[in-house]
Amino acid sequence: MADGAEPVLNVRDLNTVFKTRSGSVHAVNSVSFSLKPGELLGVVGESGSGKSVTMMSLIGLIPSPPAQVSGTGVEFGGMDLLKASDDELRRIRGARIGFVFQDPMTSLNPVFTVGYQIMEPLRKHMKMNKADARRRAVELLELVGIPDAERRLKDFPHQFSGGMRQRVMIAIALACDPEVLIADEPTTALDVTIQAQILELMHELRAKLGMAVIWITHDLGVIAGIADRVLVMYGGQIVEHAPVKELFQHPKHPYTRALLKTIPSVRGERADRLEVIEGQPPILRAAPTSCSFSARCEFCFERCLNENPPRFDVGHGHDTACFYDFDANGPRHQPNMAMTQLAGGVGDAG
Amino acid sequence: MLDETNSGNVLVEVRDLKMHFPIHAGVFKKRVGEVKAVDGISFDIFEGETLGLVGESGCGKSTAGRAILRLYDITEGSIKIDGVEIGPTPQPKLREMRPTMQMVFQDPQASLNPRMSVAAIIGEPLDEHTDFSKKEKREKVLGLMDAVGLNRDFANRYPHEFSGGQRQRIGIARALALNPKFIVCDEPIAALDVSIQAQVVNLLEDLQEEFGLTYLFISHDLSMVRHIADRVAVMYLGRVVELATREELFRAPKHPYTQALLSAVPEPDPSLEEKVERILLEGDVPSPSKPPKGCNFCTRCPQVMDICKEIDPTGKEIAAGHQVACHLYADT
Ligand SMILES: Nc1ncnc2c1ncn2[C@@H]1O[C@H](COP(=O)(O)OP(=O)(O)OP(=O)(O)O)[C@@H](O)[C@H]1O
Ligand SMILES: Nc1ncnc2c1ncn2[C@@H]1O[C@H](COP(=O)(O)OP(=O)(O)OP(=O)(O)O)[C@@H](O)[C@H]1O
Ligand SMILES: [Mg+2]
Ligand SMILES: [Mg+2]
């Protein structure tokens, strides 16, 4: 990616709160990040840390009520998506921003054939005729590696395997050549060989069409292989952000450090017991007033219990929301990073 | 867990299991062919062991798991659980056996009733199959929630209020409710983050140790399979192509497909990632409704020979407990 290119997507201070019968859930807290054309931003984080809700909030996919989505802005194509009408959002979703949902069965409609579901956005957004849409649908299914694509257009979602349904979702999201693809755990059901094929496809589309990608995954191996930059989420916040190599080589947040230790490997020694991060995730009843990882953190000290750490710039395009300074082995003495600087995309320095 | 001697009792015996789905076409929905999702697989699962089942998307893993639990009426073959043949048993009679055999599903969403609270979902099998008091039931449910790493305070929430990974844990807690003997885990951890994957895998191992549980563990995550499985079966297009102990399979994979599969695992360290040598598979995955002539893998095999395109290789034991279906090993 060209350094300093204008971001295609710029998210500033996004917040999502669910009002439920049993109280509020502050699922997303002051999340800011940006995305440049052709770039692949990896998002990792604990289950329940707000990865899906963040991405669904910014394109208006979280029903409100019960949720309240607020923020300084979500800039996309000269528009603020937080202020866009439902109609405008519908036109953007599925055409200019493709979305692959985490759970394919909830977003594929069981009563329509897969072919219909791929062709529909092509006819609606790209105004294709039936024959062209059909040709494109076959091409898309072939791109994501579904054998016998032509015949499978008439099949219903339940006739596909778990991984095939995921690939159908990817095909639908890619149908209209989106500028941004948001893929939420898109390859969890895929074996490594097909995953490699999908990752290769991402690579091509980014290079050819300048498509930017947000890739949510818990698979750090995939992140290592394809991401340019990585966001690490915990308790509804971004706790660390860095270029991919920098993150793996110099993780600076205790959660990230613990996470990297938990990965089992197919190569090298096999551990007798897998490492886990002890303790429970935070409950998110209110906006954070202390560090949300403090209860599980071995480096926790008093300040962490009294203040929610902001994101500190540590150089090399890297920032971390932690009061502990691993380079100094002690508390951090450093001013906060300005919000504007964060939102501008600290990007690919380093 | 079991050691490599495999001296244990066979709990699950699968022989020549086939599950074909009909393909219908035209206005009269005439049967024009079939999807051979599972096309003649055989293996044993010993009591107290974990058999890993791996293979690429669409090769028939879930279908095999479901067929073994008789969630389908199978096309052909025999399935014995604890010595009892259940292959041809009609569905109503299977009901009594259900508590001892459970399944954790790949799509958590599809198996959770959106109108029930989490406590009710996890407790449902207890209503049906035990006479626990309300208090006992509550205790058991909360204990299960602890066990799978779900916060007890969430007991009265509804499925949509959970993240994807949290929902998967609800399904696991429910499957464990009746202390089953045999559990088919279909990608039980695919949707979880690594730390919670590790928690769940450790939990499955603890439960196995404590209650002597037996697992069929379906997964495409080879690093997790390497961790949890005692033996591993590799499937390709409806067939088992290799079966060996975990050590053997990861140390010296024999089938070219297994070799490619292992080499493709992404490396979670960008500085190592560039050094890993990969065998890239070329060619299209054939459709299970039109498997190729000869070996199912011949269209993509990097070591394909003439014979492979003619004759379908049968499984051969090339070393104690190590089976391979490949012509490369015909004379050993
Ligand atoms: N409709 C809802 N009502 C109340 N709480 C919700 C709702 N949807 C999500 N949440 C909560 O918001 C938090 C964030 O959920 P989210 O789905 O974004 O997590 P995630 O990071 O995507 O996790 P996973 O890796 O498991 O998919 C979770 O604690 C979840 O319980
Ligand atoms: N009900 C059905 N009707 C028709 N075909 C089916 C049905 N269920 C599965 N299939 C087909 O059978 C084959 C095997 O599917 P299965 O779900 O067992 O694969 P899998 O190995 O579990 O894949 P994944 O890793 O993607 O979950 C696929 O080609 C699938 O399309
Ligand atoms: Mg999610
Ligand atoms: Mg499956």
Distance from CA of B158 to the nearest CA of A (A): 10
CA distance A164 to A189: 8
Q: Identify whether the C-beta of residue B50 lies closer than 8 Å to the C-beta of residue B229.
A: yes
ipTM above 0.95, yes or no: no
Residue B2: pLDDT band with limits 50, 70, 90? very low
Q: Residue A105: what pLDDT?
A: 66
DSSP state of A319: E
Name the residue of chain B whose CA is nearest to A159's CA: B21
pLDDT by residue (tens digit) across A46-97?
A: 888 999 999 999 999 998 888 999 999 999 989 999 999 999 999 999 889 9
Q: Provide the number of CB pairs (under 8 Å) joining chain A to chain B.
A: 194
| DSSP β-bridge partners for residue A243 | A229
Rg (CA), chain A: 21
The SS3 assignment for A196 reads helix
Q: What percent of chain B has pLDDT over 90?
A: 47
**For B134-149, what is each residue's pLDDT tens digit?**
999 999 999 989 878 7
- B3-7, B16-20, B175-179, B320-324: which range is least confident on average? B3-7
Taking CB atoms and an 8 Å limit, are A221 and B266 in contact across chains? yes
Using DSSP's 3-state secondary structure scheme, residue A39 falls into: coil
Per-residue pLDDT at A275: 78
Tell me the fold of B10-253: Rossmann fold (3.40.50)
Report pLDDT for A115: 95
CB B150 within 8 A of CB B166: yes
- A222–B62 CB contact, under 8 Å: no
Higher-scoring residue by pLDDT: B285, A125:
A125
Predicted confidence at residue B4, as pLDDT, reads 45
Where would I find the beta strands (DSSP E) of B56-170?
Answer: 76-81, 84-85, 101-104
**0.95 exceeded by pTM:** no
* Residue from the list A46, A190, A196 with its beta carbon closest to the beta carbon of B195: A46
* Ligand approaching nearest to the C-alpha of A51: 1
- pLDDT of res. A264: 73
Output A154 or B27, whichever has higher pLDDT: A154
- Residue ranges covered by each domain of chain B: 10-253
What pLDDT shows up at residue B285?
Answer: 74
Distance A166 CA to ligand 3 centre (A): 14
Query: Cβ atoms within 10 A of the Cβ of A37, count?
Result: 18
Distances (CA, A) of A331 to A302, A325, B166, B242: 10, 6, 34, 54
Is the pLDDT at B6 greater than 60? The verdict is no
Per-residue pLDDT of chain A (350 residues; tens, 9 = 90+): 445 678 999 999 999 999 988 789 999 999 999 999 999 999 999 888 999 999 999 999 998 888 999 999 999 989 999 999 999 999 999 889 999 988 766 778 888 999 999 999 999 888 999 999 999 999 999 988 888 899 999 999 888 888 888 889 999 999 999 999 999 988 877 777 778 788 888 888 898 889 999 999 988 888 888 899 999 999 999 999 999 999 999 999 999 999 888 877 767 677 777 777 877 778 888 999 999 999 999 999 999 999 999 999 999 999 999 999 999 999 998 766 554 444 444 444 33
Check: CB of residue A261 under 8 Å from CB of residue A218.
Answer: no
CB contact under 8 A, A220 and B223: no
Please provide the average confidence, as pLDDT, over all residues in chain B: 87
Task: At B259, list the tokens.
Answer: 């070799």
B108 preceded by a cis bond (ω within 30 of 0) = no
- pLDDT value, residue A56: 94
> What is the model's pLDDT at position B72?
92
Is residue B74 within 8 Å of B67, Cβ to Cβ? yes
pLDDT band at residue B287 using 50, 70 and 90 as cut-offs: confident
Virtual CA dihedral for A173, A175, A179, A183, nearest 10 degrees? 20
pLDDT grade, residue B243 (50/70/90)?
Answer: very high
Residue of chain A minimizing CA distance to B281: A193
d(CA A285, nearest CA chain B) in Å: 11
Confidence of residue B196 (pLDDT cuts 50, 70, 90): confident
